[in-house]
Structure 1
Amino acid sequence: MSASTAQVSPSGAPPAATATSSKRSTEPLPDAAAILREASDTVAQADSVHLSLLVIGNVENMAATAVDADVTRSPAPAARGYAKIAYRGAPAYVRFVVSGGHFFVFEEGGRWIDYGPAGDLYDAAGILSPGTALAGMLTDFVDPEVESRELVDGVHTVRITGQISADTATRIVPQLRPGKRTSCTVWIQETGDHQLVALKLDAGDDAVQMDFSNWNAPVSIAPPRS
């Protein structure tokens, strides 16, 4: 496997944010459950998104520690981009495609090599799966609370904290393997379609940060040729 010169550059955790907002600070914060439901509906109807993922600390068995990729679920779940993975004891940046549930890596000589089930590294293509993944996570919050308004990468958001079930957390990041509820923070666009802008899943002292952009932008991913 060859290391790519492309940079995987997902934003850190928490995402770059300021307390400024289009809303006056004196206005009441929105209802957490309501805005989570609206965000879930938006995600459930989405066909594509750009994902930037970063592992903070050390999540056991998480082979991909950074991902920057376009994701689509139409006509079938697929993803393409760059990932930082461990290879021969050192981190390497690789160009990858997830197609048909498998993780393909582009290697020297112009070959795509099938590295087996995408879940063994990270199955980015699964985050838009209908009825599960991100949409399901947003309606699984226990005791959600809107903590503040924040401007995240130019988007006016509300930050919501709470907990989600271990089962829901593993649908987003299977390698977390929590034995109980997991602390989760999401940043959701306050107005408009209430798009999901970012989320952070805690795993003890470690965490996985995911940033989202370009919802429903045209994405076409062809299966790689060996």
Structure 2
Amino acid sequence: MPPSAAPGTSSPAAPSASAAPTSSKKASEPLPDAAAILKEASVTTAGLASVRLSLSVTGNIDNMAITALDGDVTKVPDAAAKGYAKIAYRGAPAYVEFVVFGGDLYVSQSPRQWVDYGPAENFYDAAKILSPDTGLADLLTNFVDPEVGGRETVDGVHTVRVTGEVSSAAAKKIVPQLHAAKRTPCTVWIQETGDHHLVRLELASGADNAVQMTFSNWNAPVRVGKPRV
């Protein structure tokens, strides 16, 4: 079943963002300090128990078998994820339901018929993004020369756009398949007020390719069980 047709999910297409400097704050007001808001977002992200993730790939990234994903991620009681994904299978796209549990990827194309694909990291392990040591929170502390580029509204959330670079090591903890040199261009959209949630992330992979992620439903209840195979 395609992610766009999955009950209770949204399409894993790239999230929308308005180019206009629209926000709950007036455009004339000073923008926040880049380093400060990155730190606040990192603290908030490290404390998350769960989040909804929508992932999409622009261009072509070698060995990135999952090219679109829409699902829920939790780290309570253990790291796990579930949802729908578009995967490359024998040269053609396949739309599947997935579960990451105990580090393994389970895939289903038919109701209640699951296949254990083995270690999720061989495909893409979405469950790892909430790790406080190697996940999104760590990435947000890794920026080099960050700059605030302006205000944007992303999926109804008033955000501040921050651009810069992160080390390839930090970037590959989020997406191991990235083609990255010593540093990787990175852009994040952070909620300007309130808890300063990370709303959107884009990591470059070479000159023309990128991975986009959008986040929502922070700390909403998520339960993931091990599928029967």
Report the TM-score, using the length of structure 2 for normalisation: 0.93
Contact 1:11 1:211 in 2 (8 A): no
In the alignment, is residue 218 of structure 1 matched against residue 214 of structure 2?
no
Q: CA deviation at 1:121?
A: 1.0
Alignment of 1:50-61 (within 5 A): 50-61=52-63
Query: 2: distance between equivalents of 1:182 and 1:6?
Result: 29
Contact 1:39 1:194 in 2 (8 A): yes
Contact 1:185 1:201 in 2 (8 A): yes
Q: Which residue, 118, 130, 133 being the options, matches 1:131? A: 133
The one-letter code of the counterpart of 1:16 is A
> Where has structure 1 moved over 3 Å in runs of 4 or more?
none
The one-letter code of the counterpart of 2:107 is V
Match of 2:192 in 1: 190
Query: 1: distance between equivalents of 2:141 and 2:3?
Result: 36
Contact 2:3 2:95 in 1 (8 A): yes
Query: 2: distance between equivalents of 1:109 and 1:38?
Result: 42
Contact 2:95 2:109 in 1 (8 A): no
Alignment of 1:66-215 (within 5 A): 66-108=68-110, 110-203=112-205, 204-215=207-218
Q: CA deviation at 1:52?
A: 0.2
Relative to structure 1, the CA distance from residue 115 to residue 20 in structure 2 (aligned partners, 3 Å threshold; closer, same or farther) is same
Contact 1:10 1:211 in 2 (8 A): no
Query: 2: distance between equivalents of 1:211 and 1:107?
Result: 25
Query: 1: distance between equivalents of 2:73 and 2:130?
Result: 8
Q: Deviations over 1:16-73 (max 9, x none)?
A: 2242111112111100000000000000000000000000000111000000010000
Contact 2:107 2:117 in 1 (8 A): yes
Match of 2:7 in 1: none
RMSD: 1.3
Query: 1: distance between equivalents of 2:179 and 2:102?
Result: 24
Identity of aligned residues (%): 63
The one-letter code of the counterpart of 1:103 is L
Contact 2:21 2:27 in 1 (8 A): no
Structure 1 gap ranges (5+)? none
Report the TM-score, using the length of structure 1 for normalisation: 0.95
Query: 2: distance between equivalents of 1:219 and 1:12?
Result: 23
Structure 2 gap ranges (5+)? 5-9
Query: 2: distance between equivalents of 1:109 and 1:10?
Result: 21
Relative to structure 1, the CA distance from residue 88 to residue 155 in structure 2 (aligned partners, 3 Å threshold; closer, same or farther) is same
